[in-house]
Amino acid sequence: MVKWLIAAAGLDRPGIVAEVTRALLDAGANLEDTSMTRLEDHFAMLLIVTTPHDLTGARMEELLAPARQRFALQLSVHPVDAREVAGPRGARWLVTVSGPDQTGIVHQVTGLLAGRAINVGSLSSRRLPGDDGRPVFLMSIEAEVPEAAAADLAGALAALAQREGLAIHAEPMDEFRL
Amino acid sequence: METLYAQPGAVGLAAVQVGQALRVLVLDDSARTTRDRLRVMVNPVLESASQWKYGREGCLSFPDWLVTVKRARRVAASWLTVEGEPRAAELRDFEAVIFQHELDHLDGILFIDRMRDPTRDFSLRSGPPAAPDTP
């Protein structure tokens, strides 16, 4: 069994997912974790799939070629290590950020997290028109916070928020045993 | 109460979970068996709720499931005692979450019904499944 990471993106139109997954089905692939979403006018797909181990990268590309051509997709196909899925590295936190759109917000926030060995499990962001015509940037992060990093995280993010003119809300997601 | 204290670490139980069609719940946020924190509520009512936060919950009826649910961390609750005396209290944090979870059971609502997105908000205590066998 071989595990693959497939990335595909193109102008959004009906049928992209259906065509790409038809090719994967023909390849004998089983879809595992996937994330597919529209980003402005584009549709982006990220998929982890497993296939029988005699399937070559060249054959995979060949099977995906009709979908790539029909939808003018940017496509990449890479085999990846089929390791055991790692559990979360620390307590789950939710971090939400909002503020006037400017370059560097994602880097500033994730740089602060990375400096504390905090792993980002998911991140999504949107840019919205603001009331006064200035675009607003919104970001939501689910992070895995090691115990040693938890104590000063809220304070460090508050300082960053103050410095950069952002609103940042960060809190651990409680786990209840009911 | 016997079922609650027979489950190590259990903190709440609704009558419908043990086959009784009654609006009764028991909760004890200590997860111990000393019964200092035991509340037995007949006809419980959620009067008001505030300070909503996401948290991950398990459920005695689904031992391997963990679900991310938004719950109020402050609730005003009222109920009757077993003797029919009216009671009211502000419940906080863990106790407030237990109350809402058990009250949902009485209304036929499970924690999975409060999930926004199963691909993001659902997980198993035992971890993800092994990959299927492919030839």
Poorest-pLDDT segment among A10-19, A138-147, B5-14, B18-27:
B5-14
ipTM for the whole predicted complex goes beyond 0.85: no
What tokens appear for A79 in the block?
A: 């085999």
**Where do the structural domains in chain A lie, given as residue ranges?**
2-84, 91-172
Residues of A in contact with B127 (CB under 8 A): 85, 87
Burial B3-24, CB ≥16 within 10 A → b, else e: ebbeeeebbbbbbbbeeeeebb
Tell me the whole-structure pTM to 2 decimals.
0.81
pLDDT score at B130: 63
pLDDT score at A174: 85
Distance in angstroms (rounded) separating the CA atoms of residues B105 and B16? 7
A89-100 pLDDT, tens digit each: 789 999 999 999
Distance (Å) from the alpha carbon of B12 to chain A's nearest alpha carbon: 6
pLDDT score at A178: 74
Whether the domain at A2-84 and the domain at A91-172 fall into the same CATH topology: yes
pLDDT score at A143: 95
Question: At A42, is the pLDDT very low, low, confident or very high (cuts 50, 70, 90)?
Answer: very high
Residues of B in contact with A50 (CB under 8 A): 131-132, 134
Residue A58 has pLDDT above 80, yes or no: yes
Question: At A34, is the pLDDT very low, low, confident or very high (cuts 50, 70, 90)?
Answer: very high
Distance in angstroms (rounded) separating the CA atoms of residues B44 and B102? 10
Distance (Å) from the alpha carbon of B50 to chain A's nearest alpha carbon: 16
Question: At B129, is the pLDDT very low, low, confident or very high (cuts 50, 70, 90)?
Answer: low
**Interface contact A178-B55, CB threshold 8 A:** no
pLDDT score at A12: 98
Q: Does A1 touch chain B (CB under 8 A)?
A: yes
> Higher confidence at residue A123 or residue B31?
A123
Residue A27 has pLDDT above 60, yes or no: yes
Disruptive mutation site among A30, A144, A178 for chain B (greatest number of B CBs within 10 Å): A178
Q: Express as a percent the part of chain A with pLDDT over 70.
A: 96
> Higher confidence at residue B8 or residue B108?
B108
DSSP B31-100: -SSS-TT-EEEEEEEEEEEEEEEEEEEEETTEEEEEEEEEEEEEEEEEEE-TTS-EEEEEEEHHHHHHHH
pLDDT score at A88: 66
pLDDT score at B134: 45
Mean pLDDT score of chain A, rounded to an integer? 93
Residue B133 has pLDDT above 80, yes or no: no
Give the C-alpha distances (Å, rounded to integers) separating A172 from A58, A132, A147: 45, 33, 11
How many CB pairs (< 8 A) connect A and B?
57
Q: Does A116 touch chain B (CB under 8 A)?
A: no
Question: At A87, is the pLDDT very low, low, confident or very high (cuts 50, 70, 90)?
Answer: low
**Interface contact B134-A52, CB threshold 8 A:** yes
Q: What is the CATH number of domain A91-172?
A: 3.30.70.260
User: Treating both helix axes as pointing N-terminal to C-terminal, what angle do A105-114 and A153-164 enclose, rounded to 10 degrees?
Assistant: 160
Burial A113-152, CB ≥16 within 10 A → b, else e: beebebeeeebeeeeeeeeeeeeebbbebbbbbeeebeee
At A53, the amino acid letter reads H
Distance in angstroms (rounded) separating the CA atoms of residues B77 and B101? 13
> What part of B 36-75 touches A (C-beta under 8 Å)?
53-60, 66, 68
Poorest-pLDDT segment among A49-53, A135-139, B103-107, B130-134:
B130-134
| Catalytic residue flag (residue B102) | yes
Q: What is the CATH number of domain A2-84?
A: 3.30.70.260
* SS3 labels along chain A: CEEEEEEEEEECCCCHHHHHHHHHHHCCCEEEEEEEEEECCEEEEEEEEEECCCCCHHHHHHHHHHHHHHHCCEEEEEEECCCCCCCCCCEEEEEEEEEECCCCHHHHHHHHHHCCCCEEEEEEEEEECCCCCCCEEEEEEEEEECHHHHCCHHHHHHHHHHHHCCEEEEEECEEECC
B11-69 pLDDT, tens digit each: 999 999 999 999 999 999 987 878 889 999 999 999 999 999 999 999 988 888 999 99
With H, G, I as helix, E, B as strand and everything else as coil, classify residue B134. coil
Distance in angstroms (rounded) separating the CA atoms of residues A141 and A124? 7
**Interface contact B9-A92, CB threshold 8 A:** no
Closest Cα in chain A to B97: A176
**Interface contact B128-A178, CB threshold 8 A:** no
Residues of B in contact with A122 (CB under 8 A): 120
Q: Does A32 touch chain B (CB under 8 A)?
A: yes
Residue A39 has pLDDT above 90, yes or no: yes
Question: At B135, is the pLDDT very low, low, confident or very high (cuts 50, 70, 90)?
Answer: very low
Closest CA to B55 of A88, A176, A97: A176
